[in-house]
Structure 1
């Protein structure tokens, strides 16, 4: 399958999953979630959804369990909204890149402050 088509489907899945989480999920455990990336296989049979969770550790844990419970609903909604022969199997993964970039930023600021103080 063409790489361009796979990329378009990935972007569409990302947009639709974001809409589903924002508007359609009624689970009170689900807090602030951002869908950062979707990686689909070349045959579009499976897709990894990377999400970034905000809040305290217990809020993140509650949000994660709520998202895991809603994964079947999300997949069925994707199947209704995207016209493909097969709806991809979805798996959720936590995206730590935002936390990592914030930590790097803190370290850079600390290095700069140390240079100024010397």
Structure 2
């Protein structure tokens, strides 16, 4: 088993090699505007999953997937030549769903902003159902006589009056 740092370094190197070879070596007309976004390498360095995005519609994505599958051997040979590892990892290509997820999250955030704006619009003309401040405060006179404060026996012995000042 290789350490995680070595697997990350190999993944970065594989990403660079695959992207460069797709740009320069692979001349498949089905290959659309593809971007290699990430590579994940297993801990034993035997398998690499290459994540990619394609600019275009579903037909372009399908054509690019077919082109990448047909160029898998050429790309694996280039990875083996340029990495110098004992065992060249097998390559698996997976369409990266991050851009689709980002678009979905953006739509949800727009809906939330619209709902917040609607709530603020409704709250602008609203008034309280009862009094503005329905809570009772200590400084208000409720009409009843409040009981007088009884001085603490320990405070009287120490010479402190009820206002907290020392009598000495």
TM-score (normalizing by structure 1): 0.92
**Residue 3 of structure 2 aligns with which residue?**
2
Instruction: Give 1:1-118 correspondences, 5 Å limit.
Output: 1-117=2-118, 118=121
CA RMSD of aligned residues (A): 1.2
Which has the larger strand fraction? 1
Q: Matched residues in 1 for 2:39 and 2:48: separation? A: 7
Q: Matched residues in 2 for 1:47 and 1:93: separation? A: 11
Structure 2 SS opposite 1:99: helix
Q: CA offset at residue 114 of structure 1?
A: 3.1
Give the 4+ runs in structure 1 shifted more than 6 A.
none
Structure 2 SS opposite 1:93: strand
Bigger relative contact order, structure 1 or 2, given CA contacts below 8 A and separation 6+? 1
Q: Matched residues in 2 for 1:33 and 1:3: separation? A: 28
Which has the larger helix fraction? 1
Q: Which runs of 5+ in 2 are unaligned?
A: 122-168
**Residue 162 of structure 2 aligns with which residue?**
none
Q: Matched residues in 2 for 1:75 and 1:50: separation? A: 15
TM-score (normalizing by structure 2): 0.66
Q: Matched residues in 1 for 2:22 and 2:14: separation? A: 12
Q: CA offset at residue 115 of structure 1?
A: 2.1
Q: CA offset at residue 95 of structure 1?
A: 1.1
Q: Matched residues in 1 for 2:48 and 2:103: separation? A: 27
